[in-house]
A and B are shown apart, each in its own frame.
Chain A
Amino acid sequence: MFPKLLSSQTLIYHLILFFSFSLSVNYFVDLEFFNFLSYAIFHLTLIYLVFYFFHFSLFFISFLYGVFFDIFLIDYISPHLISFLVFVFLFYYSKKYLLNFSSRTISYIIIGLTLLMFVSETLIANIFFNYPINYQNLSWLFLTSLIVFFPSLFIFSKIDKL
Chain B
Amino acid sequence: MALSFKVKAISRSRFLRNVFLTSVFILSFLLIFFSKSDYFVVNKVKSISNNYLYPITSFIVSPVKVISRLQTQFYDFRNLQAENNILKEEVMRLKKWQALAIHNNSENKVLKKLLNSTDSNLTLVKTASLVSRNDFMFSKMININAGLKDGVVNDMAVVNYRGLLGRTVDTSVGNTRVLLLIDPNSSLAVKTISNNNYSLLQGGDDGVHLVSAFSKDEKLPKVGDLVVTSGSAQIFPPNILVGKIVEIRKDNFLVLPFVDFKNIDYVQVIENK
Contacts and interface: CB of A to CB of B under 8 A. Distances in A.
B32 A27 contact: no
A111 to B, nearest CB: 20
Contact of B185 (A31, A71, A130): A130
B132 interface: yes
B36 A76 contact: yes
Given A31-B71, A132-B205, A75 B170 contact: yes
Interface in A62-94: 63, 66-68, 70-79, 81-82, 85
Contacts of A34: 64
A99 B24 CA distance: 25
Nearest to B42: A77
B209 interface: no
A75 B68 contact: no
B136 interface: yes
B137 A78 contact: no
Interface residues of A, number: 44
B60 A18 contact: yes
Interface in A119-142: 125, 129-132, 134, 137
B25 A85 contact: yes
B67 A22 contact: no
Interface in B6-45: 17, 20-21, 24-25, 27-28, 31-32, 35-36, 42, 45
Interface stretch (B50-58, B92-100, B114-122): B50-58
Interface string A27-55: 11111101100010000000000000000
Interface residues on B, range: 35 or more
Contact of A23 (B36, B54, B64, B179): B64
A131 B138 contact: yes
Contacts of B262: 29
Contacts of A35: 136-137
B69 to A, nearest CB: 9
B270 interface: no
A24 interface: yes
B170 to A, nearest CB: 7
A71 B45 contact: yes
A21 interface: yes
B146 interface: no
A67 to B, nearest CB: 6
B184 A67 contact: no
B133 A67 contact: no
Interface in B104-153: 132-139, 141
Interface of A: 18-19, 21-32, 34-35, 39, 56, 59-60, 63, 66-68, 70-79, 81-82, 85, 125, 129-132, 134, 137
The 3 closest A-B pairs by CB, nearest first: A22-B57, A77-B35, A27-B136
